[in-house]
Amino acid sequence: MRTLLAALLALPTLVISLPAAPVSPEAQAEPVSPEAQVDLASPEAVTETLEAEPSTSTSGPRPVVYRFVLHDSMIDPATAFYFARAYARAEAADADAVIVDIDTPGGRVDSCIQVRNRIFESEIPTYAYITHWAISAGSLIALSTDRIYMGPNSSIGGSQPVTSTGEGVDEAVNEKITSILRSEVRATMREQQHRDPERWDDLEYQILLAEAFITPPENDIISVYASPEVACSVGELLTLDWDEAVRERIATGRCETLDDVLTAIGLEGAEVREVELTWSEKLARLLSTTMVSSILLMIGLGGLYLEFKTPGLGLPGAIGLFALMLYFFGAYLADLSTVMEPLLVVTGFVLLAAEIFIIPGFGVAGLAGITCIILGLLMALVRLPPPEFEFSMIYIDGAVQTVAVGLVLLVIAVILLAKYLPRTSLWRLLELEPAVIGGQTPPIPAGSKIKDVSRLEGKEGVAVTDLRPAGKVEIDGDPFDVVTQGEFISAGTPVRVLQAVGARIVVVKR
């Protein structure tokens, strides 16, 4: 044991006394001074030497590329929110590039422009990989990227505007929308040329082709790169396949796979991270479609109308409030709405209530209330453009269409309800009966010929006081406390009893 311990203690001495490595003749020729030996032996000198010498290792951190998937779905407000969230993640990760994987038939133009604006806001190089087709609004998104790469048998173009039902729009509206779209395409391509002077080989020619995506040209467009071949014939909407798009310099190249795109942009072997749709974005996509939003708007306003006709927080009001909550919740999930829009709508309803119950007639408060409601409903579906792009009606076209469809459906529903609902037993089930102390209803006036209030239905009388909406009327010489359906009726106006249940008598103008 002592022998082993002695050997271990002697080991450092043996190591230190080992002969040094042979020195080259060149090193022997230039002796080092003692001062230099001390400097080289110091830790600071060693650290500086290591930092000064570049690493001989060729391996470094893998580049990171984010892949945004735009497949099989219409471009809508949820798409714009998805791009905003995806870019935030890519920027937080300091990504080297973004690849937008496009396979879409198009969608809402206002949402497409929001996506375009977000692409321009980012400093990360963005490339489009069209795996199948980039049609309509999808082609504008592709043109917004730094480079376009075409997948096998892919195509780009066909951006003529259609309605949400897939039908064409009338000539006047079509001319207005296509004019705006052409302007947006020109602005997009010139902005890309400003960002990257080599983006377009012949900018004015490529703009001419992109405009032919939207409206058929008035004359044949002769190919600059395959003259005298015609790139687009007169009267035909232009759609380019993957060979034609590369030939006409709309696209940079053809790529069989995503790995080929990575190789083409100089990021071969990069780590690809895909940003998937979250449940909230999928829900926002459902709730923010024109038809669903319009139906929610109709149910919301219709439910509040029924509740107003049958005072007391009952089933119609609850359904209406829930539908409006879904309307604003969908817009909030799509990053279009804040708390300001629902507050504006609530303010509008308060002003309307003040006009009906407090201020007689219909004046400033009523008009201000209606204006606040419509503005709140519209603003919940609109995202305004950034300063570098001029405002145009195309930004609010989808919102106007949604609100207009909802209001038209509401008017139709109100007409049908007013005509048929009071005749059904459901009408009595929907309203809440007023509470009566002791379970007794107010007595019928003394000397009245009417012993059963329900027999008043259909009878006619005259308003003794202003009905705002409550007041008194005279029927067959007897006074009765009544309410209207919400409208203001001045004293002396002939009225008819629409409904009489318990102590509640509802009248309308005769």
**Which pLDDT belongs to residue 38?**
37
DSSP 37-67: HHHHHSHHHHHHHHHHSPP-----PPPEEEE
Q: Looking at the structure, do residues 122 and 149 belong to the same domain, yes or no?
A: yes
DSSP 203-224: HHHHHHHHHHHHS--SS-EE-S
Q: Looking at the structure, do residues 132 and 261 belong to the same domain, yes or no?
A: yes
Among the candidates 400, 427, 454, a domain finishes at: 427
**Structural domain contains residue 467:** yes
Among the candidates 250, 277, 304, a domain finishes at: 277
Higher pLDDT residue, 19 or 142? 142
Of the pLDDT bands very low, low, confident and very high (cuts 50, 70, 90), residue 90 is very high
User: Of the spans 38-52, 122-136, 150-164, which averages the highest pLDDT?
Assistant: 122-136
CB 303 within 8 Å of CB 421: no
**Which pLDDT belongs to residue 282?**
72
Of the pLDDT bands very low, low, confident and very high (cuts 50, 70, 90), residue 392 is low
Structural domain range at position 502? 434-509
**Which pLDDT belongs to residue 160?**
63
Question: Can you read off the two tokens belonging to residue 62?
Answer: 């893998």
Higher pLDDT residue, 317 or 209? 209
CB 464 within 8 Å of CB 479: yes
Q: Looking at the structure, do residues 258 and 163 belong to the same domain, yes or no?
A: yes
Among the candidates 389, 407, 427, a domain finishes at: 427
| Count of domains observed in the chain | 3
User: Of the spans 289-303, 331-345, 357-371, which averages the highest pLDDT?
Assistant: 289-303
Q: Looking at the structure, do residues 471 and 504 belong to the same domain, yes or no?
A: yes
Q: Looking at the structure, do residues 120 and 138 belong to the same domain, yes or no?
A: yes
Of all residues in the chain, the percent with pLDDT exceeding 70 is 69
Q: Looking at the structure, do residues 96 and 242 belong to the same domain, yes or no?
A: yes
Is the pTM higher than 0.85? The answer reads: no
How does pLDDT run across 192-220, given as a tens digit for each residue? 888 888 888 899 999 999 999 888 888 99
Before 228, cis peptide (omega within 30)?
yes
Give the burial class of 190: count Cβ atoms within 10 A of its Cβ; 0-12 exposed, 13-18 middle, 19 or more buried: middle
Inter-residue long-range contacts of 90-95, CB under 8 Å, 24+ positions, other chains counted: 90/66, 90/122, 90/124, 90/275, 91/122, 91/123, 91/124, 93/64, 93/66, 93/273, 94/64, 95/64, 95/65, 95/66, 95/124, 95/273
Q: Looking at the structure, do residues 317 and 415 belong to the same domain, yes or no?
A: yes
Residue identified by tokens 């496009």 is: 102
**Which pLDDT belongs to residue 31?**
42
What number is the average pLDDT over the span 108-134? 89
Q: How would you classify the pairing of strands 155-157 and 239-241?
A: antiparallel
Q: Residue 396: phi, psi to the nearest 5?
A: -115, 5
Distance between CA 345 and CA 475 in Å, rounded?
39
Q: Looking at the structure, do residues 385 and 445 belong to the same domain, yes or no?
A: no
Sign of the CA dihedral running 201, 204, 206, 207: positive
What number is the average pLDDT over the span 87-104? 93
Residue closest to 122 by CA, chosen among 142, 149, 166, 92: 92
Higher pLDDT residue, 235 or 255? 255
Q: Looking at the structure, do residues 98 and 245 belong to the same domain, yes or no?
A: yes
**Structural domain contains residue 359:** no
Give the burial class of 473: count Cβ atoms within 10 A of its Cβ; 0-12 exposed, 13-18 middle, 19 or more buried: buried
**Structural domain contains residue 413:** yes
**Structural domain contains residue 354:** no
**Structural domain contains residue 410:** yes
**Structural domain contains residue 346:** no
CB 113 within 8 Å of CB 141: no
Before 469, cis peptide (omega within 30)?
yes
User: Of the spans 168-172, 288-292, 364-368, 498-502, which averages the highest pLDDT?
Assistant: 364-368
**Structural domain contains residue 262:** yes
Higher pLDDT residue, 274 or 76? 274
Of the pLDDT bands very low, low, confident and very high (cuts 50, 70, 90), residue 447 is very low
Q: Looking at the structure, do residues 413 and 440 belong to the same domain, yes or no?
A: no
What number is the average pLDDT over the span 249-272? 93
What number is the average pLDDT over the span 355-377? 77
* Low-confidence winner among 127-136, 223-232, 382-391, 410-419 (lowest mean pLDDT): 382-391
Which uninterrupted H or E stretch holds 69? strand 64-71
Q: Looking at the structure, do residues 244 and 299 belong to the same domain, yes or no?
A: no
CB 128 within 8 Å of CB 147: yes
- Domain containing 160 — which CATH number? 3.90.226.10
Q: Looking at the structure, do residues 474 and 333 belong to the same domain, yes or no?
A: no
For residue 366, the one-letter residue type is G
- Domain containing 500 — which CATH number? 2.40.50.140
SS3 33: coil
**Structural domain contains residue 448:** yes
